[in-house]
RNA sequence: GCGCCCGUAGCUCAGCCGGAUAGAGCGGCGGACUUCUAAUCCGCGGGUCGCAGGUUCGAAUCCUGCCGGGCGCGCCA
């Protein structure tokens, strides 16, 4: 939109600042001031220019203001401009400015703020990736909420996003899981069998065993305790499949879908892992020490070297990750984002080293570390252990407080802050949860539109210029205008919590506006203006909630 | 010991690629429903931005050191 009011203002300020500085000024920062008495918009441009021009900031500001006042392009938009403090330029905007901002947002609707990425990329986001040996717990719930929200925010910004889940369905942990399932299966048949010492003991293991019992009847009767390779393989493989089905079912209920599911096993079976190790060796990035094959990752910034194949010939977890990440690097476009729990942060160095050693730019890989969720139950720490089966699962959390509250809560805080989640409190305070505050604002917008329609007012009529614009309206419209910057920033920083913070701010300003301004019964010009504000607010809240996969109800 | 994250109001946290008098929610106290949804609003109280230096017109924000908390530091995954 070439005549977008912000651009007109910005260009005018650039002209004025360039004239005052006597040199081209490429761009000018325009922000809403912290205090309303400082006007509607402000710019510190003179402060920055003072350094280069070697003149007092206030003097420069005076010249900028004079130039701005004489600029016909902004005469209709700016009601007043003055210099304040150390050299800030404070602007008071006109009703026409506000009407144009609002009508711009209304016209854009759900597209307002879309496409803010400076350089669109193909991005592969890998997240959750929990082993199919048990259900996702609360920590995974945070990663799921964050990963999915980041994917949505990146897509909104204009990136081409792929969501991927990597299944570690290979190795010792899967064998243990298979043995655990086999033991429960045997117990179902009345046989004397025990779950291995370091096996999995959660109730879900029995659930899997029960399904297997239905599927295969008594085929493995009498030998579940001492299975041959075929039998062990069956319980691990089929048990893992069922577990994975359950995991994806819980994630779907949590509104998280994946475009690609990659498995570890094929990487081994196809020889991919061995081939990658050979390539690293051929390139001189490995060595043998005490019978083990080492990756010289410290040559690529890692803290120390890592074992790829143990002395006993078995490859490590990292070996599979070499194959997996190189595969991703080759099949994907521009960027890979791995979302990992804080207990995996030591992995960053070696993963980047894998890429660097294979002539990939390690900066293509971003590892986002999500700090842990500590669970409390009525103020007391609740220890979790997957093997003991004492964890709180994503499914239990959702059943407890609902998808909307859980998703909102889990992305409300920055991913690099540890989070205390008191289950008892979350349950009791569900009515106090800020998610309802935001949803209520959306529902109120819808109610106003219904009311207006009932009164015979054309809700879709064009936005009119009001005689005057009140303080609540100025704050609210400024907030609506800020949305594209917030959405772009949230994408660039992979920070969904910025969307949440924005939605809470926007909702607060809307509620205040609602209480102090009549909409349906206002005079025609004000009514059309305010209905525009309502439509714009509804659209932006709806968009923002969608980016964190929280519903935007029309009634509450 | 080394690495990453955190330390801001009683509690939970925003703000952090430098800008005006540091914000919100919750909790506390006091108000507002004959009027478009009170899951709401308005008002009051609440701070050595962990500590100490440094950088500069200006630091919660950048740099250094220290203190406190979390998580890592396997031929586990």
Instruction: Kindly state whether residue A140 falls inside one of the protein's structural domains.
Output: yes
Residues A281 and A309: their CA atoms lie apart, in Å, by 12
Same domain for A475 and A512? yes
Which pLDDT belongs to residue A186? Answer: 92
Residue A344, nucleotide of least CA–C1' distance:
B72
Residue A515, nucleotide of least CA–C1' distance:
B41
Mean pLDDT of A67-75: 92
- From residue A276, alpha-carbon distances to A157, A338, A352, A383 in Å are 35, 20, 15, 39
pLDDT tens-digit readout, A116-142:
998 999 999 999 999 999 999 999 999
**Any idea which of A274-278, A333-337, A483-487 has the lowest mean pLDDT?**
A333-337
- From residue A163, alpha-carbon distances to A115, A151, A250, A257, A261 in Å are 19, 7, 16, 8, 9
Our measurement of CA A38 to C1' B25, in angstroms, reads 26
Domain hosting residue A68, numbered range: 5-93
Look up the protein residue whose alpha carbon has the minimum distance to the C1' of B25.
A434
Instruction: Kindly state whether residue A104 falls inside one of the protein's structural domains.
Output: no
Same domain for A177 and A76? no
Instruction: Kindly state whether residue A472 falls inside one of the protein's structural domains.
Output: yes
Same domain for A183 and A295? no
Q: How many CB atoms lie within 10 A of CB A128?
A: 25
CB A41 within 8 A of CB A133: no
Burial A140-177 (b: 16+ CB within 10 A, else e): bbbbbbbbbbbbbbbbbbbbebbbbbbbbbbbebbbbb
Which residues pair with residue A263 across a beta bridge? A167
Residues 6+ apart with CB under 8 A from A383: A390
pLDDT tens-digit readout, A186-206:
999 998 888 988 899 889 999
Residue where one domain finishes, among candidates A73, A93, A113: A93
Same domain for A462 and A508? yes
Residues 6+ apart with CB under 8 A from A266: A272
Same domain for A209 and A353? no
CB A262 within 8 A of CB A273: no
Q: Give me the number of domains chain A comprises.
A: 4
Q: What is the CATH number of the domain that holds A154?
A: 3.40.50.620
Instruction: Kindly state whether residue A235 falls inside one of the protein's structural domains.
Output: yes
Same domain for A197 and A290? no
- Joined together, the tokens standing for residue A140 give 């995974």
- Joined together, the tokens standing for residue A323 give 């194959």
Same domain for A75 and A163? no
Same domain for A453 and A421? no
Pick from A14, A100, A105: nearest CA to A64? A14
- Joined together, the tokens standing for residue A163 give 């969501």
DSSP H stretches of helix in A54-137: 57-69, 95-108
pLDDT tens-digit readout, A465-523:
998 999 899 999 999 999 999 999 999 999 999 999 999 999 999 999 999 999 999 99
Percent of chain A beyond pLDDT 70? 96
Percent of chain A beyond pLDDT 90? 71
ipTM score for this prediction = 0.95
Our measurement of CA A492 to C1' B20, in angstroms, reads 28
Instruction: Kindly state whether residue A516 falls inside one of the protein's structural domains.
Output: yes
Nucleotides of B under 7 A from a protein CB: 2-7, 12-15, 17, 19-27, 36-42, 57, 69-77
- Joined together, the tokens standing for residue A506 give 């926007």
Instruction: Kindly state whether residue A213 falls inside one of the protein's structural domains.
Output: yes
Residue where one domain finishes, among candidates A93, A113, A136: A93
Same domain for A398 and A476? no
Which pLDDT belongs to residue A442? Answer: 97
- Joined together, the tokens standing for residue A523 give 């005079």
Q: What is the CATH number of the domain that holds A12?
A: 3.30.1360.70
Residue where one domain finishes, among candidates A253, A273, A288: A253
Which pLDDT belongs to residue A384? Answer: 57
Residue A83, nucleotide of least CA–C1' distance:
B20
Our measurement of CA A86 to C1' B58, in angstroms, reads 10
Same domain for A68 and A207? no
The DSSP symbol for A42 reads E
Q: What is the CATH number of the domain that holds A520?
A: 1.10.730.10
Same domain for A504 and A383? no
How buried is A35 (Cβ within 10 angstroms: 0-12 exposed, 13-18 middle, 19+ buried)?
Answer: exposed
Our measurement of CA A146 to C1' B67, in angstroms, reads 32
- Joined together, the tokens standing for residue A53 give 């021009």
Our measurement of CA A57 to C1' B53, in angstroms, reads 30
**Any idea which of A321-330, A380-389, A394-403 has the lowest mean pLDDT?**
A380-389
Does the pLDDT at position A1 exceed 60? no
């Amino acid at each position: 939109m070439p005549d977008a009011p912000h651009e007109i203002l910005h260009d005018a300020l650039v002209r004025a600042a360039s004239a005052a500085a006597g040199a081209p000024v490429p761009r000018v920062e325009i922000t809403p001031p912290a205090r309303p008495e400082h006007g509607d918009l402000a710019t510190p441009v003179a402060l920055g220019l003072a350094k280069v021009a070697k003149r007092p900031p206030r003097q420069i500001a005076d010249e900028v203001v004079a130039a701005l006042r004489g600029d016909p392009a902004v005469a209709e938009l700016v009601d007043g401009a003055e210099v304040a403090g150390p050299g800030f330029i404070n602007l008071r905007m006109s009703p026409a400015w506000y009407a144009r901002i609002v009508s711009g947002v209304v016209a854009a609707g759900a597209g307002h703020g879309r496409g803010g990425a400076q350089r669109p990329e193909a991005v592969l986001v890998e997240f959750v990736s929990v082993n199919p040996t048990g259900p996702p717990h609360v920590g995974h719930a945070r990663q799921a909420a964050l990963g999915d929200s980041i994917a949505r925010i990146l897509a909104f910004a204009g990136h081409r996003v792929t969501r991927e889940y990597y299944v570690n369905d290979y190795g010792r942990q899967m064998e243990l899981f298979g043995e655990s399932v086999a033991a429960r299966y045997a117990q179902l048949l009345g046989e004397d069998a025990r779950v291995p010492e370091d096996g999995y003991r959660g109730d879900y293991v029995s659930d899997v065993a029960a399904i297997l019992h239905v599927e295969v009847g008594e085929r493995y009767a009498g030998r579940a305790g001492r299975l041959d390779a075929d039998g062990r393989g069956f319980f691990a493989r089929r048990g893992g499949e069922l577990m994975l089905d359950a995991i994806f079912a819980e994630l779907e209920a949590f509104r998280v879908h994946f475009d690609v599911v990659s498995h570890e096993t094929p990487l081994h079976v196809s020889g991919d892992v061995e081939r990658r190790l050979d390539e690293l060796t051929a390139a001189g990035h490995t060595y043998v020490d005490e019978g083990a094959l080492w990756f010289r990752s410290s040559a690529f910034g890692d803290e120390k070297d890592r074992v790829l194949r143990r002395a006993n010939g078995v490859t490590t977890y990292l070996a599979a990750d070499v194959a997996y990440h190189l595969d991703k690097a080759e099949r994907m476009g521009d960027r890979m984002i791995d979302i990992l729990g804080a207990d995996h942060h030591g992995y960053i160095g070696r993963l980047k080293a894998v890429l660097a050693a294979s002539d990939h730019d390690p900066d293509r890989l971003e590892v986002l570390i999500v700090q842990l969720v500590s669970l409390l139950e009525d103020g007391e720490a609740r220890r979790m252990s997957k093997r003991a089966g004492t964890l709180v699962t994503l499914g239990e959390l959702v059943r407890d407080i609902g998808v909307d509250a859980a998703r909102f809560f889990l992305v409300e805080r920055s991913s690099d802050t540890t989070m205390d989640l008191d289950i008892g409190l979350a349950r009791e305070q569900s009515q106090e949860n800020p998610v309802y505050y935001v949803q209520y604002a959306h529902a109120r917008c819808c109610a106003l539109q219904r009311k207006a329609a009932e009164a015979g007012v054309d809700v879709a009529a064009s936005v009119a210029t009001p005689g005057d614009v009140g303080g609540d309206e100025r704050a609210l419209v400024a907030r609506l205008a800020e949305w594209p910057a917030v959405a772009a920033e949230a994408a660039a920083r992979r920070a969904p919590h910025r969307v949440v913070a924005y939605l809470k701010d926007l909702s607060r300003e809307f509620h205040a506006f609602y209480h102090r301004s009549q909409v349906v019964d206002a005079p025609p010009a004000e009514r059309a203006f305010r209905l525009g504000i309502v439509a714009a607010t509804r659209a932006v809240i709806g968009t923002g909630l969608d980016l964190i996969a929280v519903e935007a109800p029309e009634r509450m």
